[in-house]
Amino acid sequence: MEQKIKALEQLARPLEPDPAQRKALLDQVLQYTNQFINDLPNSKAYYESTHEGVALHELSIDERSVSIEELLKRYAFNVDETGLNPASGRHLGYIPGGGIFHSAIADYLAAVGNRYAGLFFGSPGAVRLENQVIRWLCSLIGYAEQGFGNLTSGGSIANLAAIASARDVKKIKSRNVETSVVYLTQQVHHCVLKALRIAGLWEAQIRTIKMDDRFRMRTDLLETSIQADIKAGLKPFLVVASAGTTDVGSIDPLDKIADIAEVYNLWFHIDAAYGGAFLLAAAENENDLNLKAEFKGIERSDSVTIDPHKGFFLPYGLGAILVKDISSLYKTNSFKANYLQDTYGTAEPSPSDLSPELTKHFRGLRFWLPLQLIGTAPFKAALEEKIWLTRYFYEKVQAIGFEVGPYPQLSVAIYRYVPSNNEEATDFNQAIVENLRKEGTFFVSSTTIEKVYWIRIAILSFRTHLREIDNYLAFLEGIVKSLEEEMFTKAQLQNHE
Ligand SMILES: *Cc1c(COP(=O)(O)O)cnc(C)c1O
């Protein structure tokens, strides 16, 4: 038997590379990532590949081993050079992500040590570290001592956590789902609706409250709707506001909604997945951005979603749910199990009591390390820069003939070009977006609001600066000019027929 065990140990040896092998692997990956970052100013924001990485299937998963050189080559072609490039400062679509280098280092550290960050008992240091990040986020919101939260994989899961706790704290049982009422607007992120469905609340009454001309919830209509529902014998229990909608970056009137939620005893959830980080630019001494007033009332909410993998420029995989009162997360998520009996009664809350997860990635390190390494000032400056860049773009894009949507509250703006023949506006703007995508230097996305097609710009990459915005404006101008010429020639030809 010993012989057999020793033979198996030999066969399993590749699981533990020796120091020279580790160095060789790291050297290769370091060379690759350095090249990747150095090339970013010239690489595309969007790769319109026809192969879409399909060649990856040639690498079957079996008992062979493949060299790191070969794998990196395949990776570059099939993964990094297809689709969107979120690391590019010219990614101006959807809500851009980040990918600061410090977080990559932190993920490496976390993976090598593999601390068990689900339970305080298992890794008091790791849990304390994550809890420090959570408390810092709570202080940004303005939550008092009872405030706490959980680091999730992203905003969708954070919204789901909030809705599950709202359901439990407000005692919505399956037998009264149909008479329970939720209030939101048409601009709420679709993952909120998804969360309602997953949380068993799809049969609840879901009221879509109309918005003002800046796409913010009309609080007068919220209140009359609640009153009508109460009169009809229904039970209003949840209002979901957005602090930074995905479409246009608008912030609902949080303070007024808080007033109403208080009067009618509603759970008040704020989806600030995108907008939440801007609290850092709004905090401390009021600067000339005048953002503080926009966020007023956020501290009165019951729960807030923030996505550090958006506004704090982290690589994908970090969201946060924050609650005014930690007991609400406990109510939904904490369970006792015999095999965990050694882990109870610890000095700090454990993530596993506040989330559906038990074993989890030590994800807090990727936020904590950069905050410690470079401090909060560069984040704050970058966020202020994004807002100014958006205001700058909003002015300049009008100067080159574009129509614009409402003045941007954060770092998203919508705009469209109305050619002389108004009827073709949608086709024309679609053509602009298609042209941009084919070329790939910039990536933008579009949206349709109240039947009008708009091009969006969302400025949130830490690599987007004045140079990128000026280049984009020049690019837009060029496309418009050539499309107009094309239209003109077409019209001329038609006239000749
Ligand atoms: C991005 C976003 C979400 C979804 O978050 P994920 O991290 O993508 O799951 C939810 N709400 C808003 C407002 C968002 O911008």
Q: What tens-digit pLDDT sequence spans the chain (497 residues)?
A: 999 999 999 999 999 999 999 999 999 999 999 999 999 999 999 999 888 999 999 999 999 999 999 999 999 999 999 999 999 999 999 999 899 999 999 999 999 999 999 999 999 999 999 999 999 999 999 999 999 999 999 999 999 999 999 999 999 999 999 999 999 999 999 999 999 999 999 999 999 999 999 999 999 999 999 999 999 999 999 999 999 999 999 999 999 999 999 999 999 999 999 999 999 998 655 567 778 899 999 999 999 999 999 999 999 999 999 999 999 999 999 988 777 777 677 889 999 999 999 999 999 999 999 999 999 999 999 999 999 999 999 999 999 999 999 999 999 999 999 998 767 899 999 999 999 999 999 999 999 998 999 999 999 999 999 999 999 999 999 999 999 888 888 888 887 76
Q: How far is the CA of 244 from the centre of ligand 1 (A)?
A: 10
User: Which residues surround ligand 1 with Cβ inside 6 Å?
Assistant: 95, 154-156, 189, 191, 242, 246, 271, 273-274, 307, 319
CA distance 286 to 483: 44
What tokens were used for 490?
A: 């077409």
Query: From residue 448, how far is each of 120, 144, 290, 310, 332 by CA, in Å?
Result: 47, 40, 29, 23, 37
What tokens were used for 19?
A: 């120091």
Ligand 1 site-directed mutation target among 94, 185, 307, most atoms within 8 Å of CB: 307
Of 321, 168, 148, 149, the C-alpha closest to 238 is: 168
Closest atom of ligand 1 to CA, residue 157? 9
Burial of 37 (0-12, 13-18, 19+ CB in 10 A): middle
What is the pTM assigned to this prediction? 0.96
What tokens were used for 121?
A: 């008992």
String of DSSP letters for 175-240: GGGGGEEEEEETTS-HHHHHHHHHTT-TTSEEEEE-B-TTS-B-HHHHHHHHHHHHHTT-EEEEEE
Closest atom of ligand 1 to CA, residue 246? 15
